[in-house]
Structure 1
């Protein structure tokens, strides 16, 4: 029995990226032997074990072949006769098909180290096309490694197009799609994930709501890039520089989604696109089983992001209504989230990336000022009850907004 470190840990170590997880492959063993050594069997689809002390994952060397549709449409063979080279052959990219023994020696039959040096995302074999999830995985790796100038090999991109056009992506489970998307949204350049999906014809299948934005014009006066799909990607790029928070990034992705429903006769204007996008956001989040906190933030951002642009001209009661809509009193973090999304929208436009967006800080500072209101004092020192207390609190908040506006003018 021989044990090798494989996959992402080797790749990341060679790229000087912090290694967070280690995966191991076991050659020349079987399930019974692993159990006798104290390993815990946890794999449902194929034999995966947890080390009794480190709890790291150990998999028996195996081969796979396509037997049906989707991610789970595979049969596997895991036996003591499967070689390390055979196991590595089933993996997605050459940079993930490198093994290392306990002495530190590399085993690299598919030139993964060379592709790491050349910054290339390249499939290991033609069996790459058997797993539709790999389209999303490659897009995610492209997003993750963009800052290191990685690119997708043209043959791999061509395979991804074939896979998209085959209909196989429709068999992917929502949970798998969201997991890859979530991981991509954590990367430095999440916009690359969606750009790659667009390039290989997968965006129209996985995110038709986003894909539909391409080709839809906006007024050149406000949007020099004109195309709403391009604007959406620029917005996602900017928000990712402003925050690492995934819910905020996803909400920024969806902020203009309603423009996909604007009748062509109204182009390039999009009146009411914020509220028009709400059913689309709900549908997308329900389809991919996206957590409710992300869905609710996305709905709010679509509804009011452009109002923040005009915050200096809003009436006090309308400003108070914005804070009420986002439930700022119970969820104060949303104030900053909405401010950042609005900033990303304003700066996510061709030639406007570096503009100063003062409205966001103004919106945040006003909230901080209003939050000084002592709610407990109002409740304890008032003879009011029920809805009258709520109205009193609202009245006092409105007074503070008016006073804040006077201080700033």
Structure 2
């Protein structure tokens, strides 16, 4: 068999990164030959097999021809006559269209190695426009590689603008949008995902609630960056710095200020009640993308409570307790730490304030621990009903918060 290592494993090695999954292309073979050699079939839309010993993926070389709307409308040809170069030619970006033979020699018909050296994300060919998912993939690769100095080639950005204007992105199913978004939020620079989609006109189709934040002014004394869209970019990157790979915190960072897009013009640049205004569009976004429950709950908490956490040192003891209660933090204590990080990302995700202290994070955890230390054993329960026990617990927890503050 003529077997080549392809895709991300080759790309990442050339970038000096730790390679991830190893994918292979097999040229000149049939599904029957793969089965006879002991490979296990796993592909549904085209022939993909797992190696009998390593479990790595081996796909037959194939071509794709557009046959309908969206990213699923393709006819696949995996005839043994398909060449390696033809297989590489159907791929999205030149940096992903490099193959490595078993002797270590590179097959690079589209100069992907040159683009890796130049740090350029460039489409392979005109067929790029046939798959709307590639717009999201471009943005996601930028989230991963912008920190290495990558930019999108001008001609590729031009094609992405054409694709966005064509309405093709409307065919993307929510699960694929969420998949690409969550990968971007787990990357080093999520802002590059948002900015790339914004610059090519795709953000309005994919995340209209976030697109609406661009151009919305904020008070410069609190937000030197002024533009709310830019602020959200900074918050996403700060969240990635504070909680690397945590997509729930990243999603909360992305969506915490959606209400600012709904501030009446005559109130700008102030955003009174934007926390409450943001809850409705956030719920719509979560419903549309089928966002996982844990991500949704943390995002709603961060949207509703971030100003309260910022003002934590000024809140009354009872207000601190009620914040915890609204977040169901006595039954689900782990979410307090995540909320604190999301709020810190908001406070430090501002131009020139990335190294500002945020004592509220440690204080929120300290006061929550004090309240959590109260148990029903600390309450005289003789003759108390269920509701009375609940009120007694509330008073005891507020007293514990007060003692913790007094001892600081």
Q: What are structure 1's unaligned runs of at least 5 residues?
A: none
Once the two structures are superposed, residues 20-73 of structure 1 have per-residue CA deviations (whole angstroms, 9 ceiling, x without a partner) of 211111100111111222222221111111222222111110111111111101
Q: CA deviation at 1:313?
A: 1.2
Once the two structures are superposed, residues 98-131 of structure 1 have per-residue CA deviations (whole angstroms, 9 ceiling, x without a partner) of 1111121111111111111111111111111111
Q: CA deviation at 1:137?
A: 0.5
Alignment match, 1:222: 222
Alignment match, 1:169: 169
Q: Distance in 2 between matches of 1:49 and 1:379?
A: 63
Q: Distance in 1 between matches of 2:379 and 2:17?
A: 54
Q: Secondary structure at the match of 1:145?
A: helix
Q: What are structure 2's unaligned runs of at least 5 residues?
A: none
Alignment match, 1:234: 234
Alignment match, 1:160: 160
Once the two structures are superposed, residues 135-175 of structure 1 have per-residue CA deviations (whole angstroms, 9 ceiling, x without a partner) of 01011111101221111111111111111111110001111
Alignment match, 1:290: 291
Contact 2:8 2:20 in 1 (8 A): no
Once the two structures are superposed, residues 187-236 of structure 1 have per-residue CA deviations (whole angstroms, 9 ceiling, x without a partner) of 00011100000011001110000000011111222122211111111111
Q: For residues 62 and 403 of structure 1, do their structure 2 counterparts lie closer, same or farther at Cα, with a shift above 3 Å needed?
A: same
Q: CA deviation at 1:385?
A: 4.3
Q: CA deviation at 1:351?
A: 2.1
Q: Distance in 1 between matches of 2:314 and 2:378?
A: 30
Q: Secondary structure at the match of 1:238?
A: helix
Alignment match, 1:42: 42
Structure 1 runs (4+) deviating above 3 angstroms are 378-385
Q: CA deviation at 1:286?
A: 0.9
Q: For residues 317 and 112 of structure 1, do their structure 2 counterparts lie closer, same or farther at Cα, with a shift above 3 Å needed?
A: same
What is the 5 A alignment of 1:22-61? Answer: 22-61=22-61
Alignment match, 1:70: 70
Alignment match, 1:304: 305
Alignment match, 1:360: 361
**What is the aligned residue count?**
407
Alignment match, 1:145: 145
2:388 paired with 1:388 = yes
Q: TM-score, normalised by structure 2?
A: 0.97
Moved more, 251-260 or 264-273: 264-273
Q: Secondary structure at the match of 1:296?
A: helix
Once the two structures are superposed, residues 301-334 of structure 1 have per-residue CA deviations (whole angstroms, 9 ceiling, x without a partner) of 1001011111111111111000111111122222
Q: Distance in 2 between matches of 1:246 and 1:383?
A: 47
Q: Distance in 2 between matches of 1:268 and 1:341?
A: 23
Moved more, 212-221 or 84-93: 212-221
Alignment match, 1:81: 81
Q: Distance in 1 between matches of 2:19 and 2:219?
A: 46
Q: Distance in 2 between matches of 1:102 and 1:150?
A: 29
Q: Distance in 2 between matches of 1:58 and 1:383?
A: 70
Contact 2:376 2:393 in 1 (8 A): no
Alignment match, 1:325: 326
Alignment match, 1:211: 211
Contact 2:147 2:188 in 1 (8 A): yes
Alignment match, 2:341: 340
2:20 paired with 1:3 = no
Q: CA deviation at 1:388?
A: 2.4
Alignment match, 2:99: 99
Q: For residues 382 and 85 of structure 1, do their structure 2 counterparts lie closer, same or farther at Cα, with a shift above 3 Å needed?
A: farther
Q: Distance in 2 between matches of 1:40 and 1:118?
A: 39
Alignment match, 1:133: 133
Q: Distance in 2 between matches of 1:349 and 1:172?
A: 33
Q: Distance in 1 between matches of 2:79 and 2:382?
A: 77
2:178 paired with 1:181 = no
Q: Secondary structure at the match of 1:124?
A: coil
Alignment match, 2:370: 369
Superposition RMSD in Å:
1.4
Once the two structures are superposed, residues 227-247 of structure 1 have per-residue CA deviations (whole angstroms, 9 ceiling, x without a partner) of 111111111111111112110
Q: CA deviation at 1:382?
A: 5.4
Q: Distance in 2 between matches of 1:383 and 1:78?
A: 77
